[in-house]
Structure 1
Amino acid sequence: MQQAIAVLDSGVGGLTVVKEVMRQLPHEKVIYFGDTARSPYGPRPPIEVRHFTRQIVDYLLQFNPKMIVIACNTATAVAIEDIRARVSIPVVGVISPGARAAIKMTRSGMIGVIGTDGTIRSQAYESALKQISPDIQVYSEACPLLAPFVERGLFSTESAHTIVEQSLNSLKEKPIDCLILGCTHYPFLMDSISRVMGPEVNLISSAEETARDISTILSQRGMQSQSYEMPIHQFFCSGAPPVFRQIAESWLKEYIPFMPVVWQVPTII
């Protein structure tokens, strides 16, 4: 049986990473878990996010994955080292890849970061950016309304643009040339964010760089899939399967030739 890459998120946001993994690594199987019953993670205390992340990882380990991808910025910020200490397989997060992508892109050294309350409060992006380039100027803004809006499947509506405009109002005035989308839900709102911030601000999603990290680790460790058949991916969520299915099909249909199978998994408490 083909070993899978296990991807987890607080909800549907990690599908943005899955989409890029499927594009770059089309022969790798993905098992995805979205904790839709307990989303969003941003307002929750770090100890609770770590607890939830452990539970999901324990659930995913039954499938014997070869790698775990924490495709949630909040969980990456507060739980990745804990998970790395608990498992023997590679664990990849989304913050370091996003920071590297922004460093490559910026010309002025002025970088904006938007994320959940938990991610911004952790200062994980500022730390990752300054570790690479200490002179970088970072402007951070918590946008707690955006991820719940995506979870409800409303990211293509005009209301989404209004919420984005309200959330980014103060950041528009900052002298940034790059904006890190520090929540994997935010690429669903890419068009609205781009309209608000203007063409002079490059938007950075960690998904592409994270997929490159995954590819590099698999290659270095000789863990790439040897199958030339298209894999059968698996999707799990902890609540509201119809909404999850609708969003997953809408986002991934260009990259997968089948209808995602979503199981109703009992909420893990």
Structure 2
Amino acid sequence: MEDNSYNKNKPIGIFDSGVGGISVLKKAIKILPNEDYIYFGDSKNAPYGVKTVEEIKKLTFKAIDLLLSKGCKAIVVACNTATSAAIEDLRKKFKDLPIIGIEPAVRPAVNLNRKGKILIMATPITLAENKFNNLVERCAVSSEVVALPCAGLVEMIEEGVVEGSDIKNYLVRKFEGKIDKDISCIVLGCTHYPFIKKEIVSVIGDEIPIIDGSEGTARELKRRLEQSDLLSNSDEKGDIQIFNSKDNSNLIDLSYKLLELK
């Protein structure tokens, strides 16, 4: 078997179109606290949800090249839109590299076994991609899924707006006529959205479960590292570095703030 001792202590690269993937980084740190992490947010080009698939692929490959130049042993594409558009091409190109994507938590939503429709909040492009439709067909055969495209929401969160009247008014308009006793749960199909969970609850109440894909992604990361014998052998808390394509220290500050957000 290949000796991976040198590679084990290399960092894990986590990439998102902005600050949203910090929600995945948080879960990864919880599950794998001794790993080093390099996070790259491409806020300069956010949101990806309004771009063409070709543009998203190009930006995603560029981001992965950057993380690989920093010596990452595995990559997490912590962006639903980039996963939908580029993950298959990435895996073809980097055959020996563990690459973990994220997708809306449709299966966990179905497994809740609650009566009613599953409401999925996501960017318009995630909902339009075949990958999403295939996921729904595969996992939610006997469930009714209602897609709720949330154009403009990523931009607000990128500005650091995670609570207050602007977000609340947006959500009130978005949920109007959608929330009733027929909703079994809400799936947050974009990594930015967990940061506004508190405001979602303030609008819809705490009766309806709200779930996202970050936990499953972090667990899959651990599984893939174990499988490749790449788990860090350090017994100390790992190091975290955060980079952003937008030359703006406010975004780095926002990223660390979101990382600490309870």
- Kept after mapping to 2: 8 A contact 1:177/1:200: no
Paired residues for 1:140-159 under 5 Å? 140-159=147-166
- Kept after mapping to 2: 8 A contact 1:76/1:93: yes
TM-score with structure 2 length normalisation? 0.91
**1:141-189 per-position Cα deviation (integer Å, ceiling 9, x unaligned):** 1001211000000112222111122222243258221111011000011
Q: Tell me the equivalent position of 2:39.
A: 32
Find out whether 1:172 has 2:182 as its counterpart.
Answer: no
Q: Tell me the equivalent position of 1:204.
A: 211
Between stretches 196-205 and 110-119, larger displacement belongs to 196-205
Between stretches 77-86 and 240-249, larger displacement belongs to 240-249
Q: Tell me the equivalent position of 2:66.
A: 59
Structure 2 CA distance for aligned equivalents of residues 146 and 174 of structure 1: 25
Paired residues for 1:43-82 under 5 Å? 43-82=50-89
Q: Tell me the equivalent position of 2:15.
A: 8
Q: Tell me the equivalent position of 1:221.
A: 228
Structure 2 gap segments, 5+ residues each:
1-5
Q: Tell me the equivalent position of 2:136.
A: 129
**1:87-110 per-position Cα deviation (integer Å, ceiling 9, x unaligned):** 1211111106x2232222242262
Q: 1:138: Cα distance to partner?
A: 0.8
- Kept after mapping to 2: 8 A contact 1:99/1:125: no
Between stretches 179-188 and 118-127, larger displacement belongs to 118-127
Structure 2 CA distance for aligned equivalents of residues 197 and 77 of structure 1: 28
Find the residue that maps to 2:47 and give its secondary structure. coil
Q: 1:123: Cα distance to partner?
A: 5.0
Percent same amino acid among aligned pairs? 32
**1:26-63 per-position Cα deviation (integer Å, ceiling 9, x unaligned):** 00111111001010011111111011101111111112
**1:180-238 per-position Cα deviation (integer Å, ceiling 9, x unaligned):** 10110000110111222332321111111111111111122221110112222211100
- Highest RCO, 1 vs 2 (Cα 8 Å, sep ≥ 6): 2
Structure 2 CA distance for aligned equivalents of residues 173 and 254 of structure 1: 29
Q: 1:19: Cα distance to partner?
A: 0.6
Q: Tell me the equivalent position of 1:259.
A: none
Structure 2 CA distance for aligned equivalents of residues 27 and 181 of structure 1: 28
Q: Tell me the equivalent position of 1:103.
A: 110
Structure 2 CA distance for aligned equivalents of residues 197 and 110 of structure 1: 15
The Cα RMSD (Å) is 1.9
Find out whether 1:119 has 2:130 as its counterpart.
Answer: no
Find the residue that maps to 1:171 and give its secondary structure. coil
Length, aligned pairs only: 254
Structure 2 CA distance for aligned equivalents of residues 174 and 89 of structure 1: 45
With over 3 angstroms needed to count, the CA separation of the structure-2 counterparts of 1:133 and 1:162, relative to structure 1, is closer
With over 3 angstroms needed to count, the CA separation of the structure-2 counterparts of 1:254 and 1:67, relative to structure 1, is same
Find the residue that maps to 1:124 and give its secondary structure. helix
Find out whether 1:90 has 2:98 as its counterpart.
Answer: yes
Q: Which amino acid aligns with 2:42?
A: D
- Kept after mapping to 1: 8 A contact 2:14/2:38: yes
Q: 1:126: Cα distance to partner?
A: 3.9
Q: Tell me the equivalent position of 1:260.
A: none
Q: 1:118: Cα distance to partner?
A: 0.8
Structure 1 gap segments, 5+ residues each:
256-269
